[in-house]
Amino acid sequence: MGMSTGPVSGRGRRRAPMAEINVTPFVDVMLVLLIIFMVTAPLLTSGVEVNLPESKAEALQQEQDPVSISIDPSGAIFVNDDQVDGTSLGARLQQIAAASTEAGGPRIYLRADQGLDYGRVMAVMGELHAAGLRRVALVSTAAQERR
CB 100 within 8 A of CB 132: no
Long-range contacts: 97-100, Cβ < 8 Å, 24+? 97/131, 97/132, 97/133, 100/64
> What percent of the chain is predicted at pLDDT more than 90?
6
For residue 63, the 8-state DSSP code is P
Condensed to tens digits (0 to 9), the pLDDT of residues 1-12 reads 455 555 555 566
Q: Could you give the maximum distance between any two Cα atoms of the chain, in Å?
A: 112
Task: Name the band, by pLDDT with cuts 50, 70 and 90, for residue 34.
Answer: very high
Per the model's pLDDT, the better-predicted residue between 47 and 6 turns out to be 6
Closest CA to 124 of 54, 51, 68: 68
Closest CA to 71 of 15, 118, 121, 26: 121
What are residue 111's phi and psi, to 5 degrees? -115, 125
**Of 7-11, 53-57, 115-119, which range is least confident?**
7-11
Q: Taking the model in full, what pTM does it have?
A: 0.53
What is the average per-residue pLDDT within 95-123? Answer: 83
Q: Rounded to 5 degrees, what angle do the CA atoms 89, 90, 95 make? A: 95
Distance in angstroms (rounded) separating the CA atoms of residues 38 and 54: 36
Task: Name the band, by pLDDT with cuts 50, 70 and 90, for residue 117.
Answer: confident
